[in-house]
Amino acid sequence: MKAGPAREAPGPAAVSFRGVSRHFGDVRAVDGVDLDIAPGEFFAMLGPSGSGKTTCLRLIAGFEQPTAGTIAIFGQAVDGVPAYRRPVNTVFQDYALFPHMNVLDNVCYGLRIRGVPRRQRELQGREALALVKLAGMEARRPGQLSGGQRQRVALARALVVQPRVLLLDEPLGALDLKLREEMQGELKGLHRRLGLAFVFVTHDQGEALSMADRVAVFNEGRIVQVAAPEEIYERPRTRFVADFVGGSNVIAADVVKSWTGTAREASIRPEKIVLADPATLPGDRITVPATVTEVLYHGAMRRVEMRADFGPLVASIPAAGAAIGEGIAVRASFAREALHLMESA
């Protein structure tokens, strides 16, 4: 699958993996991963828990060393280089703020380690806090902050030392929905302004699709697909991607063969399925008779669960149309080109 970097940049990749594995005893947390992250790219690593995405992040940060393969950061191999000598910084899942320091000292920690004089580092620290909209909080202790504020301190603390790659480990996981949406926008804005590579680990497909330039979907220690969000969503490479990213309908190979003559599994997005009379619709369409089993109201859309003769089928239709009762027979149809053939997983 072609999946070039979103922004072509001259010079080496910000992060590159070549055949990288990390095994813990018999457990293959990361298994033969190849990866290139472009400088300035917003790159999401998406997958269920235990899929290896966090281990990949820790391999970049230097908290883990690969059992096989090579990792390079801006063309420099970092085999055996410890975390404290890598030009990358991490925003931890639960923030990992130092409880015995106030907000400003937390933010200035990296500068202090680098021997920046107090006056200068506090100036930079205050700037970083202003960047994440926390000016005036300098003297607070981490324990006195809300989850969202801690998140911002962690962000400022990582950014103030000017990393070349910023690693974010499920940074929004502990926030409530409203705050999460707000922070998504702010992270996107920060990324645009700072222009450095962000590597973002998440198990939330919505988050990955809405924020990233490119998404790598992980499963069982391997990357299943790397592509732009639209590509991932519209053309999932395998059944796993189709399932994990936004609950596509997966159609068995023999059914697909009866429709197209090709015996391969295919996916069809719920919003591509229409329940109106197919005769009134243009184009080459595939029509399936089905019985409605459940209708769920989702605000703008209605999720219609149906049973066709080959199995369950889900459609997502505008809620504005006529109400559909459970148990009625419908004719579900979709454009032939909306059916996306997948590789066998």
Partner 1 sequence: MSAAADLGMPGDSLLRRISDVLLARRGFYLLLLLVPPLLWLGVVYLGSLFALLAESLFSIDDFSGVVVREPTLATFRQLLQPANLDVIIRTVTIAATVTILAVIVAFPIAYYAARYARGRTKAAFYLLIMMPLWSSYLVKVYAWKLLLAKEGAIGWTFDAVGLRPLLDAVLAIPVIGGPSLSTSYIGMVLVFLYLWIPFMVLPVQAALERVPGNLIEASGDLGASPRQTFRRVILPLALPGIVAGAIFTFSLTLGDYIVPEIVGPSSLILGQVVYIQQGTAGNVPLAAAFSVVPIVIMGLLLAIAKRMGAFDAL
- Residue 123 has a CB neighbour count (10 Å cut-off) of 14
* Amino acid sitting at position 79: D
Query: Under 8 Å CB-to-CB from 210, ≥6 apart: which residues?
Result: 184, 229
* Distance separating alpha carbons of residues 179 and 256, to the nearest angstrom: 43
- Closer CB to partner 1, 24 or 98, in the complex: 98
Residue 92 CB, shortest distance to partner 1, in Å, is 5
- Closer CB to partner 1, 5 or 62, in the complex: 62
Q: Which of 100, 119, 193, 298 binds partner 1 (CB under 8 A)?
A: 100
Q: Which is nearest to 207 in space by CA: 257, 242, 169?
A: 169
Q: Which of 53, 126, 152, 157 binds partner 1 (CB under 8 A)?
A: 157
Restricting to residues 60-99, which ones interact with partner 1 according to CB under 8 A? 61-63, 82-85, 88-90, 92-94, 96-99
* H-type alpha helices, the chain: 53-61, 103-113, 118-131, 147-159, 177-194, 205-211, 229-234, 239-244, 253-260
Q: Which of 11, 25, 80, 114 binds partner 1 (CB under 8 A)?
A: 114
CA distances in angstroms from 282 to 67, 109, 259, 298, 300, listed in the order given: 56, 63, 18, 27, 24
Restricting to residues 7-66, which ones interact with partner 1 according to CB under 8 A? 61-63
Four-CA torsion 218, 212, 87, 92, nearest 10 degrees: -70
Four-CA torsion 210, 208, 73, 167, nearest 10 degrees: 100
Rg, the chain, Cα only = 24
- Closer CB to partner 1, 1 or 113, in the complex: 113
Residue 44 CB, shortest distance to partner 1, in Å, is 20
Residue 110 CB, shortest distance to partner 1, in Å, is 4
- Closer CB to partner 1, 100 or 193, in the complex: 100
Residue 287 CB, shortest distance to partner 1, in Å, is 55
Beta pairing class for 27-37 and 88-91:
unpaired
- Closer CB to partner 1, 63 or 297, in the complex: 63
Count of residues of this chain found to bind partner 1 when the rule CB under 8 A is applied: 26
Q: Which of 161, 217, 232, 342 binds partner 1 (CB under 8 A)?
A: 161
Q: Which region among 30-38, 105-113, 223-231, 249-257 touches partner 1 (by CB under 8 A)?
A: 105-113
Q: Which of 109, 200, 233, 334 binds partner 1 (CB under 8 A)?
A: 109
- Closer CB to partner 1, 15 or 242, in the complex: 15
- Closer CB to partner 1, 60 or 217, in the complex: 60
Q: Which of 35, 158, 197, 226 binds partner 1 (CB under 8 A)?
A: 158
Residue 147 CB, shortest distance to partner 1, in Å, is 16
Residue 167 CB, shortest distance to partner 1, in Å, is 8
What kind and span of H or E run contains 43? strand 42-46
How many Å separate Cα 281 from the centre of its chain? Answer: 36
Residue 100 CB, shortest distance to partner 1, in Å, is 4
Task: Name 56's bridge partners.
Answer: none
Tokens standing for residue 282: 């243009």
Residue 170 CB, shortest distance to partner 1, in Å, is 13
Residue 77 CB, shortest distance to partner 1, in Å, is 19
Beta pairing class for 222-227 and 214-219:
antiparallel
* Distance separating alpha carbons of residues 13 and 70, to the nearest angstrom: 13
Interacting residue ranges for partner 1, rule: CB under 8 A: 61-63, 82-85, 88-90, 92-94, 96-100, 109-110, 112-114, 157-158, 161
